Amino acid sequence: MTSSHSTPPVGQDVPQDDPRVDDVSPQASVPDDYGLQPVRLLIGVVGIALTLWLMFNLFLAFAYYPGWFFDSKLLMGALGLVAGVGGAAILFWFINVAIEALPRRLEHGLIPYAFLLPGFSLIGLMLLYPTIQTIHYSFANRDSTEYREPPWANYTELFSSSAFWSAILNNVLWIAIVPAITVALGVVVAVLADKLSASSEKWAKSFIFLPMAISFVAASAIWLTTVYAYQAPGRPQTGVLNAIVQQFGGQPQNWLAIETGRLNSLLLMVILIWLQTGFAMVLLSSAIKGVPEDTIEAARIDGASEWQIFWKVVIPQIRATIITVFITVLILVMKVFDIVYVLTNGRNNTDVIANMFFNELFARGQAGRATAIVVILLIAVIPILIYQVKQFREQEATR
């Protein structure tokens, strides 16, 4: 009973000669239980309160009285860092003092929750509470001050607007195209890189991986200036695409304004694929390296061609990684925002849900409609969420 807290994590293998299987409880050798120690408890509780109060006020002072810090951004950044990390350490120390002052049984019951509390408070404050509140606000007016009449008016307005359905269609296109192509490219690159010598592999992968460090905004600037740029007909073209078109005698186009076949959306997708292929490659490459050589060798001896080996031997063994990468890119794509916002801001039928949300919230000040859009996004991710949780449980079971 007293040793209950020292059970290993669920599913972790326990070697048979582990000390825990001995009859003697490990707790037996731990120093004596002092029972309740009121003074230590008091010190701990006062310490927690004081630390929180000091952290809270120092941080608020950055916001309210920047003059105290000589208006120096770097000083505030540095102090914020020290106060955040140091404050957290001191906070946990006092929590530990307070809990250790309790009788041992209570102590062991409480300490895990004490360690979790600060992290979970942040998650609660920044993610769980707002989620509930957002659902709540989606039935309210533009300032979230009172309910609409009828409460679902935001939703009916959205569902009857053609702009909304156009955005949904674009999102569906993004979802259908980007994750699949990213994964496919990632597999191709990972397989090809695996056949190179060690040093060329490292170099080639670095180049493809590099865009991972580039922001969506900078990537948009890159593609706009170097690839999609448009100059009036007759003038020299500065974008690669138009230069090629002109070379072959065609008319230069303002690419991001071409709605036909949603070409402009497709061109925006290219940017995201360019950014994410490196990520896919890195994960898939390590999966491919994990495929046992003898399974491939056995297939080769049986006379399978390289092509068959790839599809029948390699792919099934990296299936789990393919799915992980696919889901990760999918989650990213569902809330794609930056690229659309900075390049077209939804013009010419390129709008997507996340950009529509931003414009309703920020440009038009329509918080009611904006939150309704997020709720729809939230509902759309629920299947993925369930899948991820299921996946996680299976993984834990086999750990």
Q: Which of residues 231-270 bind another protein (CB under 8 A)?
A: 231, 235-240, 243
Binds another protein by CB under 8 A, chosen from 1, 21, 126, 397: 126
Cβ distance 251 to 233 under 8 Å? yes
Binds another protein by CB under 8 A, chosen from 113, 152, 165, 311: 113
Binds another protein by CB under 8 A, chosen from 44, 179, 186, 211: 211
Nearer to another protein, 190 or 260 (CB): 190
Nearest to 113 by CA among 92, 84, 83, 86: 92
Question: Is 308 one of the binding residues for another protein (CB under 8 A)?
Answer: no
Nearer to another protein, 260 or 393 (CB): 393
- Cα–Cα dist 352/179, whole Å: 16
**Interaction pattern, residues 53-72, with another protein; x per rule: CB under 8 A:** ------xx-xxx--------
How many residues belong to the site for another protein (CB under 8 A)? 132
Q: Which of residues 322-381 bind another protein (CB under 8 A)?
A: 324, 328, 331-332, 334-335, 337-338, 341-343, 354, 357-358, 361-362, 367, 370-371, 374, 377-378, 381
Chain centroid, CA 118 distance in Å: 21
Cβ distance 358 to 341 under 8 Å? yes
Least separation in angstroms between residue 354's CB and another protein is: 6
Binds another protein by CB under 8 A, chosen from 57, 161, 215, 308: 215
Dihedral angle computed from the Cα positions of residues 297, 298, 301 and 305, in that order, rounded to the nearest 10 degrees: -70
Nearer to another protein, 239 or 346 (CB): 239
Chain centroid, CA 246 distance in Å: 41
Binds another protein by CB under 8 A, chosen from 45, 153, 168, 222: 222
Helix axis angle, 38-64 relative to 73-100, nearest 10°?
160
Least separation in angstroms between residue 266's CB and another protein is: 17
Binds another protein by CB under 8 A, chosen from 1, 39, 198, 363: 198
Nearest to 94 by CA among 54, 137, 134: 54
Nearer to another protein, 107 or 180 (CB): 107
Q: Applying CB under 8 A, which part among 225-233, 254-262, 295-303, 309-317 lies near another protein?
A: 225-233
Residues 6+ apart with CB under 8 A from 398: 11
Q: Which of residues 3-32 bind another protein (CB under 8 A)?
A: 4-10, 12, 18-20, 26, 29-31
Phi (first) and psi of residue 60, to 5 degrees: -65, -35
The shares of helix, strand and coil residues in the chain, as percent rounded to the nearest 5, are 75, 0, 25
Least separation in angstroms between residue 243's CB and another protein is: 5
- Cα–Cα dist 133/360, whole Å: 17
Type of residue at 319: R
- CB burial of 97-126 (b: ≥16 within 10 Å; e: otherwise) equals bbbebbebeebbeebeeeeeeeeeeeeeee
Binds another protein by CB under 8 A, chosen from 210, 298, 320, 323: 210
Dihedral angle computed from the Cα positions of residues 213, 216, 221 and 226, in that order, rounded to the nearest 10 degrees: 70
Beta bridge partners of 140: 147
Q: Which of residues 149-188 bind another protein (CB under 8 A)?
A: none
**Interaction pattern, residues 82-101, with another protein; x per rule: CB under 8 A:** --xx--xx--xx--x---x-
Least separation in angstroms between residue 299's CB and another protein is: 16
Nearer to another protein, 260 or 267 (CB): 267
Cβ distance 315 to 303 under 8 Å? no
Nearer to another protein, 6 or 305 (CB): 6
Least separation in angstroms between residue 49's CB and another protein is: 18
- Cα–Cα dist 121/111, whole Å: 16
Binds another protein by CB under 8 A, chosen from 214, 257, 291, 304: 214
Binds another protein by CB under 8 A, chosen from 34, 68, 165, 392: 392
**Exposed/middle/buried for residue 371 (C-beta within 10 Å: 0-12, 13-18, 19+):** buried
Helix, strand or coil, per DSSP, at residue 222: helix
